[in-house]
Amino acid sequence: MHAAAHTVGTTACFFIQQRLYSFPLPGGGLGSDPSIPDGFLSELKSRCAPGDSNSRVSLDRGSESVFDTSILRNIRNGFAVIASDAALYNDTSTVDVVDSYSGLLSTIFGPYFRQDFADSMVKMGSIGVLTGASGEVRKVCSKFN
């Protein structure tokens, strides 16, 4: 359900530069992530020039300000902006979850997206937070101190 949180909001171009310009290609070399459809790739590149770290791109193409299942349909159709969202439809353990919320009949027969999302947020809120000597504040989020 983490990707569903991306139904609202934007990301900085910094976070997608690698997918657009320096993705490791099969056979060597760097280029654009081949899983991004050509038209969408052009759209993203027009918004994020090489080296552009600060411009912002909508995470949910066409529905960036509405809390809905559009992000999951976008992921299913290859329009995931960030790699972690795209990976959800390339992994056998998560593809069925994406499909269950984004299929043609999902609004009638599928799981209840809004309720499931709310339930997952409550569960995440109960994850233990390490404090004091048991935890640490990272100086660089992607690295241990």
**Which residues fall within 8 angstroms of residue 15, CB to CB, at 6 or more apart?**
82
The CA dihedral of 79, 81, 83, 85, to the nearest 10 degrees, is -70
Binding site for Ca(2+): what residues are annotated?
A: 7, 60, 68
Binding site: what residues are annotated?
A: 6-7, 60, 68
Side-chain-side CA neighbours of residue 22 (13 Å): 8
Q: What are phi and psi of 22, to 5 degrees?
A: -140, 40
Binding site for heme b: what residues are annotated?
A: 6
